[in-house]
Amino acid sequence: MEYLAKAFTEAIGLIIGMDREIFTITLLSLRVAATATVLAAVTGIPLAYYVATREFRGKAALITVFNTLMALPTVVVGLFCYSFLSRKGPLGFLDLLFTPSGIILGDVILAFPLIVGLTIAAVNAVDQRAGLTALSLGASGRQASLTVLAEARFALIAAIVNGFGRVVAEVGSAMMLGGNIRGYTRTITTAIALETSKGEFAFGMALGIILLTLAFTVNILFRRLQRAAGP
């Protein structure tokens, strides 16, 4: 226990002292996860709205696929992307392997089905009269769609928060596509894995505390937002 307490004290010291490497790793993690989440949301939410509000052949099967892909193993995404991005792969000429952009690509693939699946559920949960009311009040089709999405805003934010949480905490894809290169592609999770294996518990623990703090902060902000909006 003394050993753990010592590591914890050292971890707090590293955080308070704004250790340069921890700062760089955290910043990269945030940048990669935020970019991937934004890209997945920008493409996934319109697609999800379309799927939720239109009737077409294969709709149920498509929704099942998205729901299944929500639990896509990160190493499988890593493997899949690696095979495409490696020098011999069809997308090797892009030189994305072992770059932050490579990690972002994997993270987008991880966050996309989660955001799509949760957004479909969110739009389906909106009262059907919302779109009709918007149209009846003079909204264009696009304005009515945006109004329906606005009505589902808390569920949409939850979908985005979940997407962000998934990619900021994943390690398999980031490790395989980023290569865990110090100062370049080392994220919080890959650094924790590496430092722990090296016996650097304090460093890993400091990053773990930061990761948990991030998750708590995002969730607390989300809850406050929900409470402010009333029942």
Partner 1 sequence: MSLIEIQNLSHHYGGRQALDIESLEIEGGRITALLGPNGSGKTTLLMLIGQLLPVQQGNLLVRGKDMAKAPAAVREELRRGTGFLLQTPYLFKASVERNVAYGLRVRGQDRKLIPARTEEALNEVGLEGFGDRPHWALSGGEAQRVALARALVTNPRTLFLDEPMANVDTVSRAVIERVLVDRNRSDGLTVVMTTHDMDQAYRLADHAVTLQGGRIALSSMENVFHGRIYRSAESWVFDTGRLALAIPSGHQQARTAAVPPEVILVSRDLSQTSALNTLKGKVTGIRERNGSVDVAVEVGETMTARVTDESYRRMGLGLGEEVYLIFKAEAVRLY
Q: Where along the sequence are the contacts to partner 1 (CB under 8 A)?
A: 127, 129-130, 132-141, 143, 147, 150-151, 153, 229-231
Which residue's entry shows tokens 């809850």?
Answer: 223
Q: Where are the beta strands (DSSP E) in 70-129?
A: none
For residues 182 and 200, what is the distance between their CA atoms, to the nearest angstrom?
Answer: 15
For residues 85 and 65, what is the distance between their CA atoms, to the nearest angstrom?
Answer: 24
The angle at the Cα of 102, spanning 200 to 170, to the nearest 5 degrees, equals 45
Which lies closer to partner 1 via its Cβ, residue 58 or residue 231?
Answer: 231
190: its two tokens: 């890959």
Which lies closer to partner 1 via its Cβ, residue 64 or residue 136?
Answer: 136
The least distance separating partner 1 from the CB of residue 133, rounded to whole angstroms, comes to 5
Task: Compute the chain's Rg from CA coordinates.
Answer: 20
Which lies closer to partner 1 via its Cβ, residue 88 or residue 129?
Answer: 129
Which lies closer to partner 1 via its Cβ, residue 69 or residue 139?
Answer: 139
The least distance separating partner 1 from the CB of residue 127, rounded to whole angstroms, comes to 6
The least distance separating partner 1 from the CB of residue 152, rounded to whole angstroms, comes to 9
The least distance separating partner 1 from the CB of residue 59, rounded to whole angstroms, comes to 18
Are 211 and 54 a contacting pair, CB within 8 Å?
no
Which lies closer to partner 1 via its Cβ, residue 20 or residue 142?
Answer: 142
The least distance separating partner 1 from the CB of residue 226, rounded to whole angstroms, comes to 11
For residues 51 and 158, what is the distance between their CA atoms, to the nearest angstrom?
Answer: 19
Task: Report H helices in 126-200.
Answer: 129-136, 141-151, 153-169, 172-178, 188-197
Which lies closer to partner 1 via its Cβ, residue 134 or residue 171?
Answer: 134
107: its two tokens: 């993270």
Which lies closer to partner 1 via its Cβ, residue 83 or residue 140?
Answer: 140
The least distance separating partner 1 from the CB of residue 107, rounded to whole angstroms, comes to 31
Are 122 and 152 a contacting pair, CB within 8 Å?
yes
170 φ, ψ (degrees, to nearest 5): -80, 150
Are 146 and 42 a contacting pair, CB within 8 Å?
no
The least distance separating partner 1 from the CB of residue 141, rounded to whole angstroms, comes to 8
